[in-house]
Amino acid sequence: MLKDINLSDKITQITNSSNQLNFIECQKLANMNDPEGILRLGYFYEYGIGVKKKAFIHYQKSSNLNNSNGMYHVGHCY
């Protein structure tokens, strides 16, 4: 998971460059139940970056995996 610094750096790069390719990378990480990957996927959905807006489900899933940023974004939705 994201305990590895290199993976964390990769996720940051994913959401900062080519949107369509990076969306797919975030989906892969989310499918591995990576809480930060799920959170980043939520960003794509919240801001409609190449996709329809549907972030809450991803923020909630990230939150359920004890990701504090996911918890914050769930609260922000209310």
The Cα–Cα gap between 15 and 51 comes to: 13
For residue 78, what pLDDT is reported? 84
Domain 21-77 class, CATH top level:
mainly alpha
Identify which of 74, 49, 46, 47 has the alpha carbon closest to the alpha carbon of residue 59.
74
For residue 26, what pLDDT is reported? 86
Q: Domain ranges in the chain? A: 21-77
Tell me the residue type at 59.
Answer: Y
pLDDT per residue, tens digit, the chain (78 aa), is: 444 445 556 556 655 556 666 788 888 999 999 988 888 888 888 877 767 677 888 889 999 999 999 999 999 888
The Cα–Cα gap between 68 and 49 comes to: 23
DSSP H or E run through 43: helix 35-47
